[in-house]
Amino acid sequence: MSLPALAWRSETAPRRTVLWHDTAPGRTPTLPLDGDTTADVVVIGGGAGGLWAAWALLDADPALDLVLVEAGSIADGASGRGLGACSAWSGGTVHRGGPHGLDTALLRDAVVEVGGTAAAEQIACDFRYRGAIRVARDPRALTRLRAAVDPAAEDRELDRSALARRLLLAGGHGALSTPDCATTQPTLLLHGLAEALVARGGRIAEHTRALRISPGAVVTDQGIVRAERIVQATGAATVPGGSWSPRPVAETAIATSAVDPGVWERVGLRRGQLLHVAGRSDLRAVRTADDRLVLVGATAAPGLLGRFRPGDPALRALAGELAALLPDLATAPISHTWSWTRAATATHPVGVAADGLAWIGGHGPEPVAAANLSGRVLADLLTGSDSALTRVGTHGWD
Ligand SMILES: Cc1cc2nc3c(=O)[nH]c(=O)nc-3n(C[C@H](O)[C@H](O)[C@H](O)COP(=O)(O)OP(=O)(O)OC[C@H]3O[C@@H](n4cnc5c(N)ncnc54)[C@H](O)[C@@H]3O)c2cc1C
C-alpha cells in the first residue's frame, strides 16, 4: 500500500522528544536521597501509580512519613508519555469487573476525583472533561465497542451517518460516544501531584534507583530506606502480581504543529476530546489545548525504539495512519515523535503481601483514572481501612 505524502519529509525533522516534556515549564528535580534514612512507607516509582498511591496514603494519614524514590525524573515513564486519557473505559477486557477488573462505576467516580484533585491543588494540567468518540474501523471492532457499552453510563451508539455528522474522518463503520472521559497533559498532572505531595510533607528523591527490595528495607544507589511498608510502582511489566506478556509492546506517538482552528472546526474534534479508533490495533488521539493533534499507537517494531528518524517504519506508519484517518490534517507538519515500551497486560495488579510489600501497576490504555483508583485502593489496603473500596472485592487485588 502506498502511503500519502508525509509532511515531515519536506519540513524540519520532528524533534525526537516527548511533546509533554518539551512543553512543560522547567522544573527543578528534587534532590537524590542523601544517604540512609527511615520512613513509615517508601514508594518506588514516580509515575502515575506511585504518585497516586503516595497521594492517597498521605490523604489517609497526613502524619505519615513517606519517601518516594524515582530512578530518573517524575513522569519519565509510560504515564508521562501516553495521552493522559482519564476514563472508565474497559475495552471489554482490562477494567471490567471480574477477578482482574476495576469496577466501572468506581472508575467513573475516579475521573471526577482526578479533576477535583487537580482543581483543589491548582494543578494546571489541561484537565478537560470532553468525553470520547470511539470509532470502529471494521465490523469486528464495532462488536467489541458495543460489548464495552456501559449500561449505567450515557454511552450512545452512532451509526455511520451520525458519525459523519460529528467527525470528518475516513473509514468509520460506526462509533460510540461516551461522556465519561477526560484528558490531561499527563506530565503536567504528574509534576503537579509531585509538588502537592512535597507540600504535604512527603519526601521525593529523584535520581535515586532502587536496587533491592526486602521486607523492611529498600536498598537504593543513594542509601538504604528502612520502612515497614514498601510500595513497588516501577511500571507495568516490572511489578509483581500481574499477568504480563513476555513481549513488551512498542508504543509510538506523533504530535503535529498547531493546526488552524478553522480546520479543527471542519474536522469536528474538540479540544480535550479523546478520539479512539478501534481496529486490528487501536489508535488514540487527542486535540491538545494548543490545537495540535497527538496520535498514539502500538507498533510492531520494538527494535526501532529510541532510533526514530524520518523514514523509520513506525513513524512512517503512524503518520500514514493520521493522513488516512483525518485527511484534513494530512499536511500538518509533525513536530514531535517519541516512543516507549509497555507491557501487554491482561490484569491490573494492586496487591499487599503479609510482609508489608505492596505493588501497583498496569493501568491500561487510558490509565489516569485507573491509577487514581488503584492508588486509593492500595492506600486503604495498606492502612487496613474497612472502606467501600476494599469491600467490593472484585478489583483484582490480593
Ligand atoms: C495507547 C496505550 C495503551 C496502553 N495499554 C496498556 C495496557 O493495555 N496495559 C497496561 O498496563 N498499560 C498500558 N499502557 C501504559 C500505561 O499508560 C501504563 O501502564 C501506566 O501509565 C504506567 O504507570 P506506572 O506508574 O505503573 O508506570 P510508569 O509511568 O512507567 O512509572 C514507573 C516509574 O518507576 C520508575 N522506576 C522504574 N524502576 C525503578 C527503580 N528500580 N527505582 C526507582 N524508580 C524506578 C520509572 O523511572 C518510572 O518513572 C498503555 C498506554 C498507552 C498510551
CB contact at 8 A, 56 and 375: yes
Q: Which domain, by its residues, includes 58?
A: 31-127+182-246+344-398
CA distance 394 to 234: 24
State the distance from the centre of ligand 1 to the C-alpha of 383, rounded, in angstroms. 24
Total domains present in the chain: 2
State the distance from the centre of ligand 1 to the C-alpha of 45, rounded, in angstroms. 9
CB contact at 8 A, 190 and 1: no
Is residue 236 located within the same domain as residue 277?
Answer: no
Pocket of ligand 1 contains residue 79 by CB under 6 Å: yes
Cα angle 210, 205, 44; round to 5: 40
Choosing from 30, 102, 342 the residue with most ligand 1 atoms within 8 A of its CB, the one to mutate for a pocket test is 342
* pLDDT value for 171: 86
Which atom number of ligand 1 is nearest to the Cα of residue 208? 43
Which atom number of ligand 1 is nearest to the Cα of residue 360? 26
Is residue 120 located within the same domain as residue 13?
Answer: no
State the distance from the centre of ligand 1 to the C-alpha of 50, rounded, in angstroms. 10
* pLDDT value for 149: 78
What's the grid cell of residue 120? 483543589
CA distances (Å), origin 264, targets 166, 191, 233, 261, 290? 12, 29, 38, 5, 12
396 in a structural domain: yes
Is residue 207 located within the same domain as residue 260?
Answer: no
Is residue 238 located within the same domain as residue 105?
Answer: yes
* pLDDT value for 251: 86
Find cell 493501568 and name the residue. Answer: 363
Is residue 177 located within the same domain as residue 195?
Answer: no
State the distance from the centre of ligand 1 to the C-alpha of 237, rounded, in angstroms. 8
* pLDDT value for 9: 42
Q: Which residue's alpha carbon is nearest to atom 17 within ligand 1?
A: 79
Is residue 97 located within the same domain as residue 158?
Answer: no
**pLDDT 10s per residue in the chain (398 long)?**
333 334 444 346 778 899 999 999 999 999 999 999 999 999 999 999 999 999 999 999 999 999 999 999 999 999 999 999 999 886 544 333 433 356 778 888 999 999 999 999 999 999 999 999 999 999 999 998 988 877 777 889 999 999 999 999 998 999 999 998 999 999 999 999 999 999 999 999 999 999 999 999 999 999 999 999 999 999 876 776 655 565 677 788 999 999 999 999 999 999 999 999 998 888 999 999 999 999 998 865 545 444 455 567 778 888 888 999 999 999 999 999 998 877 766 566 788 888 889 989 878 888 899 899 999 999 998 988 888 787 654 344 32
Domain boundary among 343, 361, 384: 343
CB contact at 8 A, 379 and 56: yes
Is residue 230 located within the same domain as residue 136?
Answer: no
In angstroms, what is the C-alpha Rg of the chain? 21
205 in a structural domain: yes
* pLDDT value for 235: 85
26 in a structural domain: no
70 in a structural domain: yes
Q: Which residue's alpha carbon is nearest to atom 35 within ligand 1?
A: 45
Domain boundary among 343, 366, 382: 343
Q: Which residue's alpha carbon is nearest to atom 12 within ligand 1?
A: 364
25 in a structural domain: no
Pocket of ligand 1 contains residue 367 by CB under 6 Å: yes
CATH number where 89 lies: 3.50.50.60
State the distance from the centre of ligand 1 to the C-alpha of 345, rounded, in angstroms. 11
Is residue 234 located within the same domain as residue 320?
Answer: no
Q: Which residue's alpha carbon is nearest to atom 41 within ligand 1?
A: 210
* pLDDT value for 393: 47
Is residue 319 located within the same domain as residue 356?
Answer: no
Which atom number of ligand 1 is nearest to the Cα of residue 49? 25
- Those residues whose C-beta lies under 8 Å from the C-beta of residue 133, and which sit 6 or more positions away, are 158, 163, 166, 167, 175, 176, 177, 269, 273, 274, 275, 276
State the distance from the centre of ligand 1 to the C-alpha of 76, rounded, in angstroms. 9
Pocket of ligand 1 contains residue 77 by CB under 6 Å: yes
Is residue 116 located within the same domain as residue 256?
Answer: no
Is residue 372 located within the same domain as residue 396?
Answer: yes
* pLDDT value for 6: 41
358 in a structural domain: yes
CA distance 322 to 255: 10
* pLDDT value for 395: 41
Strands 249-256 and 85-87: unpaired
* pLDDT value for 396: 41
Pocket of ligand 1 contains residue 131 by CB under 6 Å: no
**Whole-structure pTM value:** 0.92
What's the grid cell of residue 159? 451509526
Which atom number of ligand 1 is nearest to the Cα of residue 209? 42
